[in-house]
Amino acid sequence: MDGLVEKLSQNLSFNEIFELVKKTVEKSLRKHRAGLTLVLNELPNAIGAYHEVGSNLIVINRTILDAVASLGKSKAELNGFLFSILMHEYLHSLGYLDEGEVRRLVYRVSEENLGRDHVATRMAGLGIVEIYPELKYLGEGAVGQTPEIIKNFDQSSMPYIG
């Protein structure tokens, strides 16, 4: 995809990153799904994100997201993390349930579209803790914090109602 690496270095919304995820998955795997909702919530830190089978939700661990945002050296690193984690959960929503298979697919799609040296590809291949070892010492997030539903997520799937 022309300009994908450059786009991921820009200031992007969750929706814009997810649109890039959907385009790369469509290009590489010829699969597509619409109508997903993104939620940021406090989760045990062993869980970066999840998609509950049969639902339309992707839930990202807010504590880990905030930590990567503060540890990352650039917008490209944060976007690479979001690209990787959103693709992982998007693949689950497409029916890929085996964790090992999903990890391999995220790596393959990332490498095909971003190159072997891109941070998203490295995260997919090595794991987030290898990139940010400080995450091993991350405390649990704020208990009882209200989940945040991200507005305007998966916008291209929403029909216009006039």
Distance between CA atoms of residues 126 and 122, nearest Å: 6
Looking at residue 162, its pLDDT comes to 45
Looking at residue 92, its pLDDT comes to 98
Looking at residue 161, its pLDDT comes to 47
| Average pLDDT along the chain, 162 residues, taken 10 residues at a time | 88 97 97 95 92 95 95 95 98 97 98 96 95 89 82 74 46
Sign of the Cα torsion 136, 104, 66, 115 reads positive
Looking at residue 83, its pLDDT comes to 98
Q: What is the pTM of this model?
A: 0.92
Total residues found in the chain within this entry: 162
Which residues, including other chains, have CB under 8 Å from residue 90's CB and lie 6 or more apart? 18, 21, 22, 25, 33, 36, 51, 58
Looking at residue 140, its pLDDT comes to 74
Q: Which of 48, 41, 47 is nearest to 62 (CA)?
A: 41
Number of H helices, E strands in the chain: 7, 4
